[in-house]
Amino acid sequence: MTTNPRSFTAVLHDITSDIRDIVRLEVRLARTEVRDEAGKAAAAGAMLGVGAACGLFGLLFTLLAAVYGLALVLPLWAAALLVGMVLAVAAAVMVRLGLARWRRVDPVPDKTIRSVKEQVGWAKPQLR
């Protein structure tokens, strides 16, 4: 029983095709990972923006109302200082929460890196 061995060019073509498929899949995985992390970054950035806007609007309107109210029992400068300090603390809390979320964003596609290392480790013995 004789077998018809495949030609060297056919084997080389199959290897090239497999490598191309692997690279294509790795690029797709990297794109998916980066998109997921970009979504996290966008959410953290949005929270930072909303925190800053809330701090600013809260500062403007509440300062005005609170200063007028406190000016009835305190000197005007003391009323403005008290209101400003309270709003600064609130803004600091929002910015801290946003930064905490921002730090959880991982821009490195870890799964792709692990997968590429695994593929390279698998391919090295095959190429020798």
- Average pLDDT, rounded, for the chain: 85
Closest CA to 119 of 39, 33, 21: 21
**Residue of 94 and 3 predicted with greater confidence:** 94
Reported residue count of the chain is 128
Q: What is the mean pLDDT of residues 98-122?
A: 83
Statement: residue 113 has pLDDT above 90:
no
Domain ranges of the chain: 8-108
pLDDT tens digits for range 45-94? 999 999 999 888 887 887 788 888 999 999 998 988 888 898 789 889 99
